[in-house]
Amino acid sequence: RKEVEQDPGPFNVPEGATVAFNCTYSNSASQSFFWYRQDCRKEPKLLMSVYSSGNEDGRFTAQLNRASQYISLLIRDSKLSDSATYLCVVNDWANAGNMLTFGGGTRLMVKP
Amino acid sequence: EPEVTQTPSHQVTQMGQEVILRCVPISNHLYFYWYRQILGQKVEFLVSFYNNEISEKSEIFDDQFSVERPDGSNFTLKIRSTKLEDSAMYFCASQWDSGYGYTFGSGTRLTVV
């Protein structure tokens, strides 16, 4: 079974902190990687795609290590509005088309 | 920003009844999906739809489930005879092209009693 594993948390951090989430995936054939954000009882929203060379979008930095099958998300200067569940998501296009496999999510709570 | 629209937002149904969940994907998107999330659990893939046919489906998507795109805008999920374990949030999603992230709708919370 192809799985995506995440530490469920919660991670409780003060505003302004830097926090990092990790994710491992079992399917070595995975080709596309994403971080989604999900607020309580809401839909997942695409935060960023993750590229092999690593990529940054403002305060968010994503890294991919294909050899270790490991993805990370770093959030700098945390804001109260960053409080949410962060979902690691992978896709094995060659074998499963566009189906996304979701991790269980890591819950982040940013406190004043 | 374009949205995926789902109706109703919440549906309560008796076990054994049929339900139809409705979605209007983003108009120029080519790929359409249904996912579900049982409370407190992972988001799970149900089915993908492209070029007016199912392209992939999971083992959850058994004979009780069907999808349809009856016109150029709507995309529906039908559950023929609901079970208690079908209670979940059902998310529709659409995607412009392969390899891109999806846009999810706000979901339909289905409660089977």
pLDDT at B2: 79
Judged against a pLDDT cut of 80, whether residue B14 lies above it is answered with yes
Residue of B nearest to A6 (CA): B42
Cβ-defined contact of A43 to B91 (cutoff 8 Å): yes
Cβ-defined contact of A46 to B41 (cutoff 8 Å): no
Q: Which residue's entry shows tokens 């994403």?
A: A34
**Chain A interface includes B13 (CB < 8 A):** no
Judged against a pLDDT cut of 70, whether residue A111 lies above it is answered with yes
Judged against a pLDDT cut of 90, whether residue B102 lies above it is answered with no
pLDDT at A70: 95
The C-alpha angle with vertex A7 and arms to A3 and A40, in degrees rounded to 5, equals 95
Query: At a CB cut-off of 8 Å and minimum separation 6, what does A67 contact?
Result: none
pLDDT at A2: 67
Residue of A nearest to B43 (CA): A102
Within 51-70 of B, beta carbons closer than 8 Å to A belong to 55-56, 58
pLDDT at B98: 78
pLDDT at A1: 60
Q: Per-residue pLDDT averaged across A4-8, rounded?
A: 95
Over residues A41-95, the pLDDT tens digits come to 899 999 999 999 899 999 999 999 999 999 999 999 999 999 999 999 999 888 8
Which of A30, A43, A45 is the best substitution to test chain B (most B C-beta atoms within 10 A)? Answer: A43
Over residues B28-66, the pLDDT tens digits come to 899 999 999 999 999 999 999 998 999 999 999 999 999
pLDDT at B43: 97
Closest partner residue to A100 (CB to CB) among B45, B55, B109 is B45
Chain B nearest-CA distance from A75, in A, is 20
pLDDT at B87: 98
Q: Which residue's entry shows tokens 């200067």?
A: A77
Cβ-defined contact of A43 to B58 (cutoff 8 Å): no
Q: Measuring CA to CA, which residue among B9, B15, B71 is closest to residue A41? A: B9
Residue A57 pairs with which residues in a beta bridge? A60
Query: Which percentage of chain A shows pLDDT scores above 90?
Result: 84
